[in-house]
Structure 1
């Protein structure tokens, strides 16, 4: 290169750098604005729906239709080491969802969560069962895709990295101002998934069973009181308490069948009998009484949700 070429480059490079900086700044400002609009919706801070719909149209979003939310909660420290931030997963998931037929989706991240607004073009808004079934199909495909993506990255790193995530689905809502309820429902589904140990799985809010009643309880103090009357008494000695809680869980899982529960716990049936006796003595509840058994089962459910209920 001639000296003249170098002189031209010296003048052009700062200009190119400036344009790139401007483009990056514009992108960051636009991303922040998008996130602000979507956060408004999921936080239940929608004022005039027309105003939010107008803001959404700037980005090609249609808020004149209803949505349900699917939330993916990522949980693994090695994601960063492998160069996989939540932003990266969000961008890749947005591309993946473009291949799903008749789906209108908006994808963004909040902390370690990837949030997906979903509207299924071919389904009638009033057909709740069809919408739920389609949402489950989509979420299962998302979970399968995510497992594949993360396991490929782990294999490429030649390490023993393991990744975990939880997928929760909320209900469909016609009105924009109600969509925040779908977000809260999806988070409750994730909390229940954690409590049930459903790692890398999918759960719809409607399928929470008794957990749904516990989440809907307005008086959390009553739930804590029920916990203290049951499992709380076992947990007064934390080490021994965990063993008794695990014993009680297995006993219920095997419908009170002593030998099956003992086999699952890798203990002798007589040891199981002793532990069940300890549980009855500490709680003052009898396992041969249906009302007492129900109390203990509810106590176990609350125990598994306690981190969530304590917030």
Structure 2
């Protein structure tokens, strides 16, 4: 591209920036000059502005670019799970931190050479607009997060004040809500995981916006906190709402998550926003218990925790003492004789004390299982048919799973 033509383009784009038309005006001017579609995205590849595309691309849409192994400025992405679009991509940086991307869809990569000359310069001009927008967004996010924080920590006593402030941000807190807390596997995030949390927040925000309206969401340390409206759905539908959201996030973030696990804890539903802080505390307890108890679904509801939530907040030394009195001798016997009677008892309780089901689960003959259970009764000096005995054992095993001993 001739230097005079390039200078003309730069002049036009600088004039567009000065006019105050924002990213929309900038992408339009670029698209008309290049005679190609132009997209600008945020760091999570959510489209902030686009122009000139006959494809089904709209602002707010999330795309997942797949980069060429040897050329990070070439990518492909799917549109509506049908059309695979090739594109040249140029990252937008401010102070060495990636703020988003400039994406120019092309028919094929042979057009890449023509764009190489100007792609980086166009991204730099986008960075000027990003810098201005980021200041406004940061200020808005700061005030939103401050309100959500006060809401979740019960720092606002007046219901009228809460509803008025929520209305400013376009949130209707007259509806019933529950709090859900999302967290990656580790409570301590490295810089890479912090960037991933930003992307996950954008994915959650995008999905909730499609189904529930403007999301009430904030990132706090390693947590992504979502205050989710539930209306008057039945309990099963309320839980399905969270599970579906988690499944969608897992699916969309799968290439980024890799082996990392995203867990969710959900509090109970409350009608009054002055009580949302309770749902937040419950969600955190549910999340911690989910991670302790190795829940395969990685979604825990406080309302489903039953006796576990009581044990969780109980005195640890007292719980350890109860476990020792109930199952301590059996654990010591197993250790001394290299046996596994405690596991046999756990399986027996887990299978509702049904002999055949337990034998099948342990790959044992029923007579062998009977012998083992008789040995358990002898060691513990108890009767496994007694209802109170079964209850004590279930509680002791729950304490063991909660890692309180």
- TM-score normalised by L of structure 1: 0.71
Number of residue equivalences: 288
Displacement of 1:90:
0.9
Higher deviation after alignment, 280-289 or 265-274? 265-274
Q: Note if contact 2:178-2:270 (Cα within 8 Å) is conserved in structure 1.
A: yes
Structure 2 partner of 1:47: 157
Alpha-carbon distance in structure 1 between the residues aligned to 2:168 and 2:339: 54
Q: Counterparts in 2 of 1:298-309, with a 5 A limit?
A: 298-306=395-403
Deviations 1:237-259 (A, max 9, x none): 89679944433211112333445
Deviations 1:245-291 (A, max 9, x none): 43321111233344543442345667656654564455444423332
Residue of 232, 236, 241 corresponding to 1:138? 241
Alpha-carbon distance in structure 2 between the residues aligned to 1:166 and 1:194: 8
Q: Note if contact 1:227-1:299 (Cα within 8 Å) is conserved in structure 2.
A: yes
Q: Find out whether 1:147 has 2:147 as its counterpart.
A: no
Secondary structure in 2 aligned to 1:167? strand
Alpha-carbon distance in structure 1 between the residues aligned to 2:267 and 2:324: 31
Deviations 1:134-163 (A, max 9, x none): 322211211221231233446xxxxxx434
Displacement of 1:31:
2.6
Q: Provide closer, same or farther for how the CA distance between residues 82 and 45 of structure 1 changes in structure 2, counting only shifts above 3 A.
A: closer
Structure 2 partner of 1:127: none
Secondary structure in 2 aligned to 1:173? coil
Q: Provide closer, same or farther for how the CA distance between residues 84 and 293 of structure 1 changes in structure 2, counting only shifts above 3 A.
A: same
Structural RMSD (CA): 4.2
Alpha-carbon distance in structure 2 between the residues aligned to 1:111 and 1:202: 20
Q: Provide closer, same or farther for how the CA distance between residues 169 and 278 of structure 1 changes in structure 2, counting only shifts above 3 A.
A: same
Q: Provide closer, same or farther for how the CA distance between residues 19 and 91 of structure 1 changes in structure 2, counting only shifts above 3 A.
A: closer
- Name the structure, 1 or 2, with higher relative contact order (CA <8 Å, separation 6+): 1
Q: Counterparts in 2 of 1:1-311, with a 5 A limit?
A: 21=131, 23-75=133-185, 85-100=196-211, 105-120=215-230, 123=232, 130-153=233-256, 161-215=258-312, 222-235=318-331, 243-258=340-355, 260-266=357-363, 272=369, 276=373, 279-280=376-377, 283-306=380-403
Alpha-carbon distance in structure 1 between the residues aligned to 2:332 and 2:169: 55
Greater strand proportion = 2
Secondary structure in 2 aligned to 1:306? coil
Q: Note if contact 1:229-1:283 (Cα within 8 Å) is conserved in structure 2.
A: no
Alpha-carbon distance in structure 1 between the residues aligned to 2:128 and 2:335: 62
